[in-house]
Every structure is written in structure tokens, then in C-alpha cells.
Amino acid sequence: MKKSIEELVGSLDVKSIVATSVRDAKSDLLGEAFIADPKQYKQVSELTSERTKKLHTELYKQYVETFNRVSAELDGVNKEETNSRHSTFRSLKLDETYNLNAVYLHEAYFANAFDPHSECYVDSLPYMKLSSAFGTFDKWQEDFIACAMSAGNGWAVCGYNTFLKSYINTMVSDMSQDVMIGLIPLIVLDMYEHANIMDYSADKKSATIAFMRSINWNVIEERVSKAEKIAKLL
């Protein structure tokens, strides 16, 4: 005798099936490697040479490829054979941080630079917030340039610090050292010589001022707006 669909469904342990499916789905998600996709940026500013733009883009793509490879390797690494002195897992996790930071610091830099019509209006959100945090907008610029001059191979970063509840300028050494906890990056400047410093005969001050003259304040406006929303939530 054939059973009706209702009888067949009624005989199934639906709750158990759903629970198993959810557990399996979570397991699959946790097992998937993080993947970064290279993005395209219009580096239209004449303040940086075409040769530097090309080489910098190629370097960025190499960081993307390396991060994806490290992420994939982490999926299959033996987590039982790890310690704080040396292990494959430890080395890969350090590489993960280094290359992930390299990818997204570059993306933040490419997105907030190269605007040939750069202008920050006095009634814009970035102008008002930075002026308030530093006393005047000029004082913010002076402080940011000082951070850039103090940075070695690394980055000058203006961001919103969720612990200080304020906008602040700081430096990131290399790709993953001296990273300020709680910082939401808003304005990112690459201070490696390959970025554009060599276009200015290794004159870091001139290269930094060139960057300040080409900041894409529309991008910064969006970032500051998001930071303000996060600040309200906290």
C-alpha cells in the first residue's frame, strides 16, 4: 500500500535533518579559505609616474596572490602540531596577517589617492571632524605629515580609534608591526620607496605633500561617515 506524501513527511525527523544540515553547512563555511580578489583602481594623478603606478599595481597583485595561497594552505595545516617557537601553523598565521594587511592597506591607499581635482570643503564631514579632533584642519595636516616623515618602510594612517573615541594619526611599520588596536583606517599613505617617493628623488616630504594634494575626499567622506556610525553604536 502506497503512503501519501503527508504520511512520508510525517515519519521523518525533520528537526534532526535540519540540525544536521545546519551543522554541515557551518563546517563547510569554516573550512573554506578566505579569498581576496584584486581590484582595479584609476591612478589618474600626474603627480606619480606611470612606471611607478604600473610597478605598484603589480606588487599589490602579488600580495593578493600570496594571501590566497597562504589562506589555502591554512585550510589543510595540522593544528595539533603547533607551538609558540616554530610550527607550520604559526608561520602561516603570521604570513596571513602580513599579506592581508598588505592587500587592504594598498587598496585603501589606491582608493583614497590620485584625485586630480582634490579639494576638502570646510563644510564636509572630514574637514569638520579632523578640525575638531586636532584644533584646526591645518594642525591635522601638520600632524599627519609628521607621521609620514617618522615612518620608515610602512604607512602613515589617519583613523578613528574606537578606544580613544577620537580621530588620530599613527604609523604602521612594514605591513604588520606597530598596528594600533581599535583603529579604523580612513586616510592611508604608502611610505615605501616603491610607492612614489622615488619619483621625488627620495624626498619624502615632497612625496607626502604630493599625496596631500591628491587625496580623494569623496572616498574619505564615505569612510568618515561609516566611522561615525560605528562610533554611535559603541
Note down pLDDT in tens along the chain; length 234 residues.
555 545 544 554 544 543 444 344 433 444 567 899 989 888 877 878 888 889 999 999 999 999 999 999 999 999 999 999 999 999 999 999 999 999 999 999 999 999 999 999 999 999 999 999 999 999 999 999 999 999 989 999 999 999 999 999 999 999 999 999 999 999 999 999 888 777 888 899 999 999 999 999 999 999 999 999 999 998
Q: What is the pLDDT of residue 202?
A: 82
On whether residue 104 sits in a domain, the answer given is no
On whether residue 215 sits in a domain, the answer given is yes
On whether residue 15 sits in a domain, the answer given is no
User: Cα-flanking dihedrals φ and ψ of residue 65, to 5°?
Assistant: -65, -40
On whether residue 150 sits in a domain, the answer given is yes
Q: Are 155 and 105 a contacting pair, CB within 8 Å?
A: yes
Give the C-alpha separation, 31 to 55, whole Å. Answer: 34
Q: What is the pLDDT of residues 186-203, one digit of tens each?
A: 999 999 988 877 788 889
Q: What is the extent of the structural domain holding 170?
A: 125-233
Strand order in the sheet with 154-161: 166-173, 154-161, 183-190
On whether residue 44 sits in a domain, the answer given is no
Q: How many domains does the structure of the chain reveal?
A: 1
Q: What is the pLDDT of residue 46?
A: 80
Q: What is the pLDDT of residue 9?
A: 43
Q: What is the pLDDT of residue 32?
A: 63
Model pTM score: 0.82
On whether residue 52 sits in a domain, the answer given is no
Give the C-alpha separation, 133 to 140, whole Å. Answer: 8
Q: Which of 224, 222, 215, 220 is nearest to 119 (CA)?
A: 215
Q: What is the pLDDT of residue 29?
A: 41
Cα 162-167-171 angle, rounded to 5 deg: 90
On whether residue 9 sits in a domain, the answer given is no
* Strand partners of residue 163: none
What CATH number did the domain enclosing 134 receive? Answer: 3.55.40.20
Give the C-alpha separation, 35 to 28, whole Å. Answer: 15
On whether residue 10 sits in a domain, the answer given is no
